[in-house]
Amino acid sequence: MPLASTIRLQVESALARKIPSALTPAPRLIRPQIPTGLAELDELSGGGLPLGALTELVGAECTGRTSVALSFLAQVTEANKVCAWVDSANAFDPASAAAIGVDLDRLLWIRCADVAEASTKTTKAVTLPQKYFIPGSPKKGLHGGGFGPHPRTEIRGLSEAMAGLFTGETPLPKPVEPSATKRNRLASGESIPSIPFTRRKRRARHYDAIERALRTTDLLLQTGGFSAIVLDLAGIAPQYVARIELSTWHRYRVAAEKTQACILLLTQYPCAKSGSELQLRLLEAEPILEAHTVFSGMRPRIEIVRQRFLQAASNVVSMRKPPQAARTASWQSRTPWAGAQ
């Protein structure tokens, strides 16, 4: 009976033209890494963010997510390389980026949100109706001396008052009574109040921003020449970002491998799945207090959720369980008035 090695050699020689090394496992690809400028994070990830792959940085608001991305861009632009920041919610601050050390001359900032609509919302003046400045008549005794309305009826008109107080717009339409149906009201000729489309407009605005951001990233990857591309989707709610197809992230991964670009995805909820080679999660940051009263900075914490090909390339599979390494790290981010320590 021939040996297994002999049969393996015969099979590989027969399939050499179609499938080279059919029965030989391919060696694991160890990608070069770019340091992030944070010694604790670089030590945890084994050198930084992988080059030619997709890295997903997940975290809630005020966890240090943008600071990590800007620190990474500072290291890339310091090496005289060109980067791009795809901003889906107009949340990028050039002054903060320059303060961290990002060379703005080597950074392409692309705003994908509706700038005109955002500017009109911020410049719109809010005027309060005159009825809110007229004090009401005083009431004596409990509920107006015993003849006032029941406490349950005091909530009536609260929605109209709050709508006019905070937005200055027309009050919301009153709900339709449950006894009257839409068919009966149409038959009687009574008009039905129209439902506001604010929720539908908000949803369409989010989807438009996501579509612009994804198309822009496609163009940047096809053009080439960018060492790092930051796709910032953190300003969009997770229920909209989670609807992006997984084929999009796999396409980005293949394009990044061809162009040797590092794609950094910023989200609130992990959505790239297996398309990302490195997934980092930022935990809730801890405040730094001096003398228990003075706020002097934050202590962000980061955790590695998944990482491919961490160990050296080898075709030998060990039967023993490898030793478990640390998966979390933290560092200090101090305020300007606290000074360096």
Q: How many CB atoms lie within 10 A of CB 5?
A: 8
Residue 40 has pLDDT above 60, yes or no: yes
Q: Residue 244: name the closest of 43, 44, 47, 88 by CA.
A: 88
Domains assigned to the chain: 32-112+200-334 (3.40.50.300)
Q: Per residue in 137-173, pLDDT tens?
A: 655 554 444 445 555 565 566 666 666 555 544 444 4
- Residue 330 and residue 96 in contact, taking contact as beta carbons nearer than 8 Å: no
Asked if residue 123 has pLDDT above 50, the reply is no
Sign for the CA dihedral angle at 299, 311, 313, 282 comes to: negative
Q: What is the pLDDT of residue 166?
A: 53
For strands 33-34 and 328-330, give the pairing: unpaired
* Residue 176 confidence (pLDDT) above 50: no
Q: pLDDT tens digits for 80-101?
A: 999 999 999 888 999 999 999 9
Tell me which residue of 270, 296, 220, 227 sits closest to 72, measured CA to CA.
227
Whether 178 shows a pLDDT value over 50: the answer reads no
Residues with Cβ within 8 Å of residue 8, at least 6 apart in sequence: 23
